Amino acid sequence: MPAPTLLVPADPKAGYLAHKDEIDGAIHRVLDSGWYILGQEVAGFEKEFAAYIGVGNAIGVASGTDALEIALRSCGIGPGDGVITVSHTAVATVAAIELAGAIPILVDIDPCTYTMDPNRLEDTIKQQGAGRLKAIIPVHLYGHPADMAAIMDIAGRHGLSVIEDCAQSHGAAIGDRKTGTWGHLSAFSFYPTKNLGALGDGGAVVTNDPALAERLRQLREYGFRERYVSHLSGMNTRLDELQAAILRVKLQYLRTENARRRQIARIYGASLSGTTLVLPQLHSKVDHVFHLYVVRSAHRDGLKAFLKENSVGTSIHYPVPVHLQPAYRSRAVIGRGGLEHTEQVCREILSLPMYPQMTDEQVQRIGHLIARWDSQKGEAS
């Protein structure tokens, strides 16, 4: 029997093939229009995405990293200002703070939700003093919302802006409010593997504040208010018409595809609940969108190797916390209490394959493989 083909952790091509005819049609519509930058497709997508999230304004930009940078700049945050975020995140979150000229201050996570621990946040604000601190960037990592009620309460008491990093949480919600509606502004990425993914780079900032929206529109194109006249020193970060047209197709399926991700998570949960693995936590008030399905094991590296031998590809999000990475470790500013949970979790996490086009059989096969490994590993070691 031939070896089963390798199951990949994420499959953006499957996301394209699932809607190929509609996407091809959208691409040709743009090619034939003769208008490729900031036209009807971007305007249409911005309107539809804002309506989906439940906010007043969406501004399309070139990537999620740019979305974070421009969001910071629109709040007037720049050199010397402090911005608090987590170290257990994509390096992009921290890179964007430095791109805006500001100083990242990193706090620990809650090891159950893998998101910013509000107690650490409060301690760190007290320790730093109000003066140089300007903003907080909570990250809804893996598709699980951060504790926004607590974070907004702390931010309000200390006069800080909140920018949500929603790069992994398109459609996730707390109660009936989606992520992206809690902070003053929120940044999304449409990198191909995200829950809402383009076929190239893309991003957006959303906000209910019309004045901020106006600044963002100017900042994304050289600070233009009218053409060729800069009123702010801006940047060039535009979502292009092709990606916007593709995103308009995929946005129509986001709700169904997020539901499918939750179904896959339930199948994993059913096969893995009796094992020694730590599974993703589900809280009743939270709508998790499972950008990633992340388990924890003290024998993570052994499990990863075992799955690879059995044609199941996995990844680690993320293997090295930002404050320990070569580019950042010499100047990382660590919040009070250190980053104990962050460092512990990085040694144990493993992202199993997760994308809407997986079949039930594929998910069950992986679940059973892991359960078998788990029951035998005591004898092997």
Binding site for ligand PLP (CB under 6 A): 63-65, 89-90, 92-93, 139, 165, 167-168, 189, 191, 201, 203
Q: Which of 171, 157, 328 has its CA nearest to residue 262?
A: 171
CB of 191 vs ligand PLP, minimal distance in Å? 4
In sequence order, what DSSP letters do the residues of 219-233 get, joined into one string? Answer: HTBTTEEETTEESS-
CB of 117 vs ligand PLP, minimal distance in Å? 17
In order of 47, 60, 229, 242, 371, the CA distances from 37 in angstroms are 16, 11, 18, 9, 50
Residue nearest to ligand PLP (CB): 64
Instruction: Specify burial of residue 359 (Cβ count, 10 A radius: 0-12, 13-18, 19+).
Output: exposed
Closer Cβ to ligand PLP, 94 or 370, answer by number: 94
Q: Which of 289, 290, 266, 293 has its CA nearest to residue 278?
A: 293
CB of 193 vs ligand PLP, minimal distance in Å? 8
Closer Cβ to ligand PLP, 68 or 152, answer by number: 68
CB of 203 vs ligand PLP, minimal distance in Å? 5
CB of 120 vs ligand PLP, minimal distance in Å? 18
Closer Cβ to ligand PLP, 170 or 215, answer by number: 170
Closer Cβ to ligand PLP, 99 or 371, answer by number: 99
Task: With beta carbons less than 8 A apart as the criterion, state whether 237 and 61 touch.
Answer: yes
The DSSP letter of residue 110 is: E
Strand order in the sheet with 82-86: 57-61, 203-207, 185-189, 161-165, 133-136, 82-86, 103-107, 333-334
291 in helix, strand or coil? Answer: coil
What H or E segment, with its residue span, contains residue 361?
helix 360-380
Q: Which of 25, 7, 167, 149 has its CA nearest to residue 89?
A: 167
Closer Cβ to ligand PLP, 290 or 373, answer by number: 290
Closer Cβ to ligand PLP, 356 or 367, answer by number: 356
CB of 249 vs ligand PLP, minimal distance in Å? 19
CB of 192 vs ligand PLP, minimal distance in Å? 9
Q: What angle do CA 35, 37, 42 make, to 5 degrees?
A: 100
> Would you mind telling me the total number of residues written for the chain in this entry?
381
Closer Cβ to ligand PLP, 194 or 299, answer by number: 194
CB of 138 vs ligand PLP, minimal distance in Å? 10
Closer Cβ to ligand PLP, 75 or 303, answer by number: 75
Give strand pairing partners of 85.
106
CB of 189 vs ligand PLP, minimal distance in Å? 3
Measured from the Cβ of residue 266, the count of other Cβ atoms closer than 10 Å reads 12
Closer Cβ to ligand PLP, 306 or 318, answer by number: 318
Instruction: Specify burial of residue 289 (Cβ count, 10 A radius: 0-12, 13-18, 19+).
Output: buried
